Structures are given as C-alpha cells and as structure tokens.
Amino acid sequence: MDLLAALSRRKVLAIIRADGPDRALECVRTLVGAGITALEVSLTTPGAAEAIAKARSEFDLSVLIGAGTVVTAAQADEIAAAGAGFTVTPAITRGAHRSVELGLPLLCGALTPTEVITALDAGALAVKIFPAKLHGPGYLRELRAPLPNAPLIAVGGVDAATAPQYLAAGAFAVGIGSPLLGDAGTGGSQSDLAGRAATFLAAVSDA
C-alpha cells in the first residue's frame, strides 16, 4: 500500500497514548469503528508493542497501524517484530535510522528547514512538523515555499479548528493526540472518543 497516498486520503492520523495495552487496543477499536483508520500507538504507552501486535492481528491491512515516539534502535526492532506498518519519531533519532534500515516507512519528526531536509536525506517517507502549534499553519506554508515537494504532516497541538488550516497550508495529513483522545486512554468515555472522532472527520472532510 502507498502509505502517503493512504494518509492523504484519510487526512487524520490518530495518536494513541494510554495507560496500558488493553486500553490502547480499546481506543484503536473505538477509533476504527468511528471511521479513523490511520493510527499510531505511542511507545510512551506501557505495553505498546503488545497493543500493536494485537491490533494488527485483529484488523485487516486497510487499517493503518504504526508506532510512535520511536527513539532507539531497539524500539524500532521491537515494533517491527510486532507488525507495525510504519514508524513515527519526534526527531531524527537512532530509531528513525534503524526504521529506514528495516524498511519501515518513516514519518520523521523535524521543525526547521535544515531538519526537514536532513530527515528526507536520511530516508524518511515524510516529515512530521513537530510541534506544529509552535509556529502555526503559516509556518508550514512558508516551509512549503522552498520545499514544495516535501511531504509534511502537522503534529502537536492540532485541534478540530486548526486541522483544516494546516491542510490548506500544504500538510497532506494531520496527526492528532490529546485533542482527540482526551481521557479515553486512561479510562475515560469511549463513546465520547467516538464523538470527537466524528468531529475531526467532519472538520477535515472538505479540506
């Protein structure tokens, strides 16, 4: 599957942080049921690799399941063994380099133009502009001027109001964590999570 094309169509990448693998899997199920079918489970979640493996066995390949916050090479090996379909990093980490070696599609975290180019030169499939909220949609638009072909995804502080603005500024997708998950990863309402998912999907539907 062409990951970039799939993410561009879906527009929303859900970032799941939870207090354990069972809760993470519960959030995955809720989000997929609500129509968000591109998800990353952050390795800040205890047992994240277990959650990824269970989710991968439960859903068909049309549901994109990756791992986030991959920092070390050992973490990249672990999530590859768990069946993650892609890697997301907060920066140009050892985990990023190892993911490329393993052939895992990499969404590599960066902020400055130098970091964006370095990430792409290192083999990243796309660059996660993080934290996007620091400079807002206008900054992403400015990055696109000298780097029109750089595939960028906006992550960090993106909410339902600003998601369409980042897409209009040239992001091919937005990654959304706490504004979407809320407290669902720590025992909060899954029905509320489904409602927030519907709100985000409606917000980006015309972007």
Q: Active-site residue 40, yes or no? A: yes
Gap between the Cα atoms of 35 and 11, Å rounded = 12
Amino acid at 167: L
The pair of structure tokens assigned to 123 is 């083999």
Give the list of residues 6+ apart from residue 173 with CB closer than 8 angstroms, or none. 7, 8, 10, 11, 12, 13, 38, 153, 154, 167
Catalytic residue, chosen from 11, 26, 54, 128, is 128
Gap between the Cα atoms of 176 and 200, Å rounded = 9
Q: Active-site residue 128, yes or no? A: yes
Gap between the Cα atoms of 181 and 190, Å rounded = 9
For 169, half-sphere exposure in the C-beta direction (CA atoms, 13 angstrom radius) is 21
Catalytic residue, chosen from 11, 26, 40, 54, is 40
The pair of structure tokens assigned to 32 is 């997929």
Residues designated catalytic: 40, 128
